[in-house]
Amino acid sequence: MVPAARYAAAIEVLDRITAGARAPIALRDWGRSNRFAGSGDRRAIGDIVHDVLRHWWSSAQAGGAETGRGRVLGLLRLTDVDPETVFTGVGHAPAVLDEAERDFPVADASDVPDFVEPMLRARFSEDFSNLIDAMRSRAPLDLRANLLKADRDQARAALAADGIDVEDVALSTTALRAPTGDRRIVRSAAYLDGLVELQDASSQAVVDFAQPKRGERILDYCTGAGGKALPLAARAAGPVDVHDIAPARMRDLPERAARAGVTLRALSTDALAGKHWDLVFADAPCSGSGSWRRDPEGKIRLTPQSLADVQSAQTDVLDACAPLVAPGGRLIYATCSLLPAENEEAVAAFLLRTSGWKLLRNVSLTPLDGGDGFFAAWLEHA
């Protein structure tokens, strides 16, 4: 496909997303209906779609319409690509621009939901504009050195042997950054042998913050796909108990654990009763606002009600984890969120309603720090 035809395909996909289809489904369905498109074409179309999602509101303003065509037009303008080179009407390219579309409206949208913007402005004040600009960019491709098999230097050397050059990331002593879009990673010996795992540097940093130690009893309460359980086990050099209220989310974990060489013991909710751990790590459900570069669709689907729902889930997680922490132990509450309502305010509310706990410290990271947005609080059980 020529580049202009890829933009035309992206317009089709974006119209389906606007109508309510989830982005992965809309992209998959387009691919199935257009089997002439090669893998490179599908990737390029996906990149255009996700770039529009990152500029969801500003692209509509710059393009003059809340349609796939309007948003693609707006994206081209916002990224300094001449729309006349794409909207040619030749072959499978989008139709030529009409007179109304040749006007260039001013785009001043912040590309976050209207009800979220005041929260972010209040939290980040003079950094707000820079944060928004960072969130419009593509997320980096980060790797984690698996300390059970290699330190960062050894992992870097193993990747170099596969022709993959990476650089250190200051956020964590295990973090490496590869060229964005390098699809050789998952085929490399370093990855297949478990020396490295794909993981954002900020996500690694919150595991570092928890300071897992050898010999500790550790529970990862909201395990999901295991993004925290694996590095917890690697840093502690021992087994980690894992739990998720929806066990199906952990279905791929045995394979990942085997590749990493770690021991994870899955426990049902009933099996947690009466047991205690030195470290309980709770990567709670959240808005995902810290990872909107990776999942920009998340911001266009977030509503006041869905935010209220995850806040309620966070309350439940904190209250469920508290009795599981041994005396003198710690609860690490973490979210991939930039919103104080899910972070500092959630912790403050927990301390007000729960006796015998104190906040020792917390950490708050944003894309301006070089990774995803993450928050973590160290809560200690007296």
Positions marked catalytic: 336
C-alpha distances out from residue 265 to 223, 230, 324, 356, Å: 11, 12, 16, 29
Chain-centroid distance, C-alpha 196: 18
- The span from the CA of 173 to the CA of 167, in Å, is 12
Dist. CA 167–CA 265, nearest whole Å: 33
Distance of CA 198 to the CA centre of its chain: 12
Give the helix/strand (H/E) hosting 379.
strand 374-381
User: CA 301 to CA 313: how far, in whole Å?
Assistant: 18
Residue 47 annotated in ligand binding: no
- Answer yes or no: is 244 a known binding residue: yes
Contact at 8 Å (CB) between 53 and 23? yes
What beta strand segments (E) does 94-237 contain?
141-145, 167-168, 175-178, 196-198, 218-220
Q: Is 145 helix (H, G, I), strand (E, B) or coil?
A: strand
Q: Which structure tokens are listed for 188?
A: 């490399």
* Radius of gyration for the alpha carbons in the chain, expressed in angstroms and rounded: 23
Contacts (Cβ under 8 Å, ≥6 apart) of 12: 30, 68
Own/partner long-range contacts of 95-99 (Cβ < 8 Å, ≥24 apart): 97/73
H-type alpha helices, 322-380: 344-353
* The Cα angle at residue 130 between residues 127 and 135, in degrees rounded to 5: 120
* DSSP annotation string for 12-73: HHHHHHHTT--HHHHHHHHHHH-TTS-HHHHHHHHHHHHHHHHTHHHHHHHHTSSSHHHHHH
* Angle at the Cα of 144 from the Cα atoms of 226 and 249, rounded to 5 degrees: 15
Residues annotated within a binding site for S-adenosyl-L-methionine: 244, 283
Residues annotated within a binding site: 244, 283
